[in-house]
Structure 1
Amino acid sequence: MTRRLPSDAVLLVAAGLLAVLPILAVFYRPDGTTGLDVTGHPIGRDFINMWVGPRLAFSGRLATLFDLDAYHAAIGIEFGQALPFHNWGYPPFTLLLLRPLGGLPYVAALALWTAGLFAAFAGVTLSQVPPERRRAALLALALAPACLINAAGGQNGFLTAALLIGGLLALDRRPVLAGILFGLLTWKPHLGLVLPPVLIVLGAWRTIAAAVATTLLLVAASVLVLGLSPWQHFLTETSAYQYALLQQFRGFYPVMMASAFVDARNLGLPMGAAWGLQLAVGLPVLAAAIWAAHRARDPVRRAGVIATAAPLLTPYAFNYDLTGVAAVLVWRLFAAPPRTAPIVVTALAWTAPALLMLVRFAGGGGAWLVVLALFAVLVREVAAEAPARSGAGGLAAAE
């Protein structure tokens, strides 16, 4: 196949909807009487943390966030009824950023969170699509399974994808802005593991300096406002609990995870073997991403390689974290010149966030293999380019 046809996008969107609609109907459908979904969560279930966290922190109940039982009880009080278990797992500086949302009614805050972040994410993505194709690309992006699952669950995939992709696209011309966005990405630092070695190899020192400064400023502001105690709890109890989730490997959350580590645990392998598989996948991906980022002449292709590598490097990759991969696929479908790739790879990568859950319930896995296949296609395309004349994609000259 040498040229993308409009029917490709139509077929992919249709396949994605067929894959994701059963998921939305089973797990995110309102029950019609209580304002909850059929699993007993409020609509936008994972936004609960984003809304309740700052409400507690700035009403004299900061310590509650780090007491699992007290936090669960506090959530029930905020919503007027007992809800399924949640835990707070974000760096303390996020409480400062989320404070305006905590002051709004839940539904209004959820609407602003979802629509506002999707608008930012879509703006970053569509900036690389020709103007005459942006309406169609926007529709496809909105209907991508990763985006629908993220929106239905009130998750933060739009935010992390906008920060990562926005930073990658800004590297050449606005290196300081790129660093600020990468600094903000420390909201979920495991999704930025690919960035430090890539930025060092690219010689992106202004970006690195801006990222470090942004992160230090966020930490300092949180200490000034909230004190040291939240960081002590976060680095001890919260981190230990997050790791314990990987050890215990039970509950609903593994159904949504898309890493090699989780596939190994799903097969019953011990922690050591699961970490071994994660490293066996992650280290070659990291090496290939560094090489491709240094060689790539097209900034968009470079961004695609790095964004696709990001979820492959962490055991904590969820299907809603694949919004960045959806953006890369939209570029391939709608940006000129047309991109070529085996249609089966494109189709599987597009539908993977939904198929992951369906396959996981059947006892299977393999979503990371699909992302890995797309990553391999992107690296192969970079290899087919003529080498950059100076630096990576002109970065050295731009800085």
Structure 2
Amino acid sequence: PWAIPFVLLYMPVIENFTSSQKGSVCLLVLTATYCLMNRDRRLGAGIVFGLLVFKPQLTLVIAVTMFVKREWRFVLGMMSTATVFLSLSLCLGIDVCRQYVVFSLGAGDYLRTAGYQLVESHCLYGFFVLLTGDGDLSLARVLTAVSAAALILVLGSMLRGTLQTGTRRFAAQFAALVIATVLLSPHLFTYDLTILLLAMYLTWLLLSHDQRPVGKLRQTLVSLSLVAYVSPQLSVWLAESTSLQITVFIQAAWLIALSRYAKWLPEDRRSEPVCKKEMVPELLTEGPCGSS
């Protein structure tokens, strides 16, 4: 309950509701996906995650991660939902499916659409297109590819080994996956930043229930998550003035700090500290304090 006012005052949430967008639905799907995965219900998590097929750019990071990590039950659930949606689309006609495929494959060129507001783009690609100018996109694409490769290396260092769901480490990993989803999306508007609320919540829970002294790293994560919360209110104005989208800097720094913090966290349930179930929110307890 204490988080509700912060959620409602978050600028992307306000924009999401005032412009009738789907950011809140995406947040709900990702939150349900995390909760099911955290309870080791991988098939159900995949089925729920597959609901994001209506916004394919937000599925790339997590879907690829689950393939690479060989989370086959998750993949099966995800593909099952996608198949159902595909079947329903076929009922509307082949042309509808063709348009969906064309749009998905051309997501990288969506920034060239007339009226596209680059100052409201919060992904790496949008950041570099705004910085270099939207004439020739070659340089922006090269810079995006290099930056994306660096972030993928950081993310990969967090995801080594099997995914130990139900642990604090998995909470940090999923928060990082959500942040990476935003950064690596081909295009992403302000209202889509609504999904970062899940990453913020997981970060704050991790820090508030971890008593180990990690010094400046803890302070850095707290500061970055708070700045990530506030920055969308100023980002558009700053982008118009400087051609720099500050939210991308903040998200990248947040992801890197999370990867460093994850090194302090146990890699399996047996190494988790003993804790009282009633004292720790359910989002974090299904492993060390729950019954999974």
The aligned residue for residue 227 of structure 2 is 348
Deviation at 1:207, TM superposition (A): 0.7
**Which letter does structure 1 place at the counterpart of 2:195?**
G
Match runs of 1:262-273 below 5 Å = 262-269=126-133, 270-273=136-139
Match runs of 1:22-171 below 5 Å = 135-171=1-37
For the 8 Å contact 1:141–1:330, the answer to whether it is kept is: no
Give the alignment partner of residue 280 of structure 1, picking from 133, 146, 149.
146
**Which letter does structure 1 place at the counterpart of 2:219?**
A
* 1:253 to 1:229, Cα distance in 2 relative to 1, 3 A: same
The aligned residue for residue 316 of structure 1 is 187
The answer to which of 379-388 and 195-204 deviates more is 195-204
**Which letter does structure 1 place at the counterpart of 2:44?**
L
CA distance in 1, matches of 2:205, 2:60: 29
Task: Give CA-to-partner distance per residue, 1:330-384, whole Å, 9 cap, x none.
Answer: 3444674169332542332112222221112214323211111111121111112
* 1:244 to 1:316, Cα distance in 2 relative to 1, 3 A: closer
Give the alignment partner of residue 246 of structure 1, picking from 111, 126, 139.
111
CA distance in 2, matches of 1:317, 1:371: 13
Deviation at 1:388, TM superposition (A): 2.7
For the 8 Å contact 2:172–2:203, the answer to whether it is kept is: no
Identity across the alignment (%): 19
Taking structure 2 as the reference length, the TM-score comes to 0.77
Q: Tell me, yes or no, if structure 1 residue 360 matches structure 2 residue 239.
A: yes
CA distance in 2, matches of 1:381, 1:190: 27
Structure 1 unmatched ranges of 5 or more: 1-134
SS of structure 1 residue aligned to 2:268: coil
Structure 2 unmatched ranges of 5 or more: 212-217, 271-285
Deviation at 1:311, TM superposition (A): 0.6
Match runs of 1:297-308 below 5 Å = 297-298=167-168, 299-308=170-179
For the 8 Å contact 1:261–1:275, the answer to whether it is kept is: yes
CA distance in 1, matches of 2:104, 2:199: 31
For the 8 Å contact 1:149–1:320, the answer to whether it is kept is: yes
For the 8 Å contact 1:155–1:320, the answer to whether it is kept is: yes
The aligned residue for residue 189 of structure 1 is 56
Task: Give CA-to-partner distance per residue, 1:101-154, whole Å, 9 cap, x none.
Answer: xxxxxxxxxxxxxxxxxxxxxxxxxxxxxxxxxx21111112122212222221
For the 8 Å contact 1:165–1:303, the answer to whether it is kept is: no
The aligned residue for residue 376 of structure 1 is 256
CA distance in 2, matches of 1:287, 1:165: 25
Cα-Cα RMSD:
2.8
* 1:388 to 1:201, Cα distance in 2 relative to 1, 3 A: farther
CA distance in 2, matches of 1:168, 1:283: 25
SS of structure 2 residue aligned to 1:315: coil
Give the alignment partner of residue 213 of structure 1, picking from 72, 80, 90.
80
* 1:291 to 1:235, Cα distance in 2 relative to 1, 3 A: same
CA distance in 2, matches of 1:274, 1:376: 22
Give the paired residue count. Answer: 257
The aligned residue for residue 261 of structure 1 is 125
Task: Give CA-to-partner distance per residue, 1:252-286, whole Å, 9 cap, x none.
Answer: 52221112222222233431111112212222222
Deviation at 1:211, TM superposition (A): 0.6
**Which letter does structure 2 place at the counterpart of 1:337?**
H
Deviation at 1:244, TM superposition (A): 4.5
For the 8 Å contact 1:146–1:321, the answer to whether it is kept is: yes
For the 8 Å contact 1:312–1:371, the answer to whether it is kept is: yes
CA distance in 1, matches of 2:13, 2:71: 31
* 1:203 to 1:234, Cα distance in 2 relative to 1, 3 A: closer
Deviation at 1:171, TM superposition (A): 1.6
* 1:327 to 1:239, Cα distance in 2 relative to 1, 3 A: closer
For the 8 Å contact 1:194–1:286, the answer to whether it is kept is: no
Taking structure 1 as the reference length, the TM-score comes to 0.58
For the 8 Å contact 1:183–1:214, the answer to whether it is kept is: yes
CA distance in 2, matches of 1:308, 1:262: 15
CA distance in 2, matches of 1:377, 1:222: 41
CA distance in 1, matches of 2:71, 2:105: 33
Q: Tell me, yes or no, if structure 1 residue 329 matches structure 2 residue 200.
A: yes
**Which letter does structure 2 place at the counterpart of 1:226?**
L
CA distance in 2, matches of 1:370, 1:154: 26
SS of structure 1 residue aligned to 2:263: helix
CA distance in 2, matches of 1:389, 1:239: 39
CA distance in 2, matches of 1:385, 1:331: 14
* 1:261 to 1:243, Cα distance in 2 relative to 1, 3 A: closer
Task: Give CA-to-partner distance per residue, 1:189-242, whole Å, 9 cap, x none.
Answer: 11121123321343311110111111011101221x212121123334x45875
